Amino acid sequence: QTYAAILPAAGIGSRMQAAVPKQYLPLAGKTVIEHSLSKLLQHPAISQVVVVLAENDRWFRQLEVAKHPKISLALGGAERCDSVLSGLHAIKKADWVLVHDAARPCLAHSDIELLIKHIEQHHQGVILGAQVRDTMKRSDANGNILNTVDRDGLWHALTPQAFPVQQLRHALQSALMQGVNITDEASAIEFSGEACSILPGRSDNLKVTRPEDMAMAERFLTQSLS
Ligand code: CTP
Ligand code: MG
């Protein structure tokens, strides 16, 4: 099997409230995106990494890593799923694609291995997840509790998310055409009726979303180096 990766990095990071999109914030001696990219670039099975950038991006090309021979660029869209679809069109030759958020800088080599091993054995889509730990509540719009949701089988969806290239392209295209709300790749695959598994990934694979997440990511990255 052959593998490519897509790194959607065309978001503006509005919840981070920083002067630059969050993927370009400094983190443990590099930028967030350089961390997210490095494990994908280093993996010997991944032959191409498509970085999806906003039209007005003026930061990526300034990074040393931009010249890496495995990297291709694609133009992002209005929503994350539009950016991923654009990235899919830039894949040259691969059976499988791993989609990984630029905003997840703490990705470990072992989590990529977990996905690739699962693909080699089961030949179907697979994503990383984290099992829900807290008691889950459903409320109305005023915060009045309606009920407790059974936590059994509930997961947080993480990235990377890995699928056959053509399967993901068709699933995203038809979901977008039918106006389905697609927040990750697996939701498009679910909508198309294809099978997909979820595997427990590392708990330090957080997405930097709000300002306070940066300190935690910094701690995870410096710990894993020591
Ligand atoms: N992303 C993208 N194209 C979009 C929107 C998001 O490529 N139109 C990317 C982001 O750059 C990020 C990943 O998708 O790496 C996850 O999205 P999210 O965490 O929501 O990032 P932002 O949309 O940038 O942040 P926010 O929602 O706070 O504005
Ligand atoms: Mg967003």
User: What total of structural domains would you count in the chain?
Assistant: 1
Q: Which residue has the least CA distance to atom 16 on ligand 1?
A: 101
- Tell me the percentage of the chain whose pLDDT exceeds 70: 99
- CB distance 161 to 128 below 8 Å: yes
Boundaries of domain holding 218? 3-225
Q: Which atom of ligand 1 is nearest to the CA of 208?
A: 19
What CA–CA distance (Å, rounded) separates 132 from 213?
Answer: 19
The closest ligand to the CA of 101 turns out to be 1
Q: Within 6 Å (CB) of ligand 1, which residues are found? A: 8-15, 23, 52, 76-80, 83, 101-103, 207, 209
What CA–CA distance (Å, rounded) separates 26 from 211?
Answer: 12
> Can you read off the two tokens belonging to residue 148?
């407790």
- CB distance 46 to 97 below 8 Å: no
ipTM, two decimals, is 0.99
- CB distance 72 to 51 below 8 Å: yes
The closest ligand to the CA of 87 turns out to be 1
Q: Give the model confidence (pLDDT) of 161-197 as tens digits.
A: 999 999 999 999 999 999 999 999 999 999 999 999 9
Alpha helix positions (H), the chain:
32-42, 80-89, 109-122, 165-177, 185-192, 213-225
Long-range contacts of 11-18 (CB under 8 A, 24+ apart): 11/54, 11/76, 11/80, 11/83, 11/102, 11/103, 12/54, 13/103, 15/209, 15/210, 16/208, 16/209, 16/210, 16/211, 17/211, 18/211
Q: Which residue has the least CA distance to atom 25 on ligand 1?
A: 13
Residue count of the chain, please give it: 226
Q: Give the model confidence (pLDDT) of 40-54 as tens digits.
A: 999 999 999 999 999
Closest CA to 38 of 130, 112, 114: 112
What average pLDDT score do residues 18-44 get?
A: 98
pTM over 0.80: yes
Omega before 160 cis (within 30°)?
Answer: yes
CA–centroid distance, residue 131 to ligand 1 (Å): 23
Q: What is the CATH number of the domain that holds 133?
A: 3.90.550.10
How far does CA 109 lie from the centroid of its chain? 14
Averaged confidence pLDDT in the chain:
97
Please give the pLDDT value at position 179.
93
The closest ligand to the CA of 99 turns out to be 1
Q: Give the model confidence (pLDDT) of 121-148 as tens digits.
A: 999 999 999 999 999 999 999 999 999 9
Q: Which of 6, 7, 12, 205 to mutate to test the pocket of ligand 1 (most atoms within 8 A of CB)?
A: 12
